[in-house]
Amino acid sequence: MNELIDKLGGIKAFGIFSICLFVVVFSASMILAFCLKKPFLKSMSALPLEEDSPAQAKNSNTPPL
């Protein structure tokens, strides 16, 4: 198996690239999450996930949550 990996050449570069890409994306998402303003987060948390119209509720056999 090691022989096959050595013959491929440059496979180590893909591993290093993928780890660096993960660190960059993860760091960027964490920075973005921590930079969000508290009022914006509170307003987003107050929004409903789904809004059923009265017509949809009448046609639906399942009770609203």
If you average pLDDT over every residue of the chain, what do you get? 79
Under DSSP, is residue 1 helix (H, G, I), strand (E, B) or coil?
Answer: coil
- Residue 50 predicted with pLDDT over 70: yes
Range 11-32 average pLDDT: 91
List, for residues 2-15, the tens digit of each pLDDT value.
Answer: 776 667 666 777 88
Q: Where are the alpha helices (DSSP H) in 1-65?
A: 2-8, 11-35, 38-45, 54-59
- Residue 42 predicted with pLDDT over 80: yes
Is 52:60 a contact under the CB 8 Å cutoff? yes
Percent of the chain with pLDDT over 70: 63
Q: What is the pTM of this model?
A: 0.53
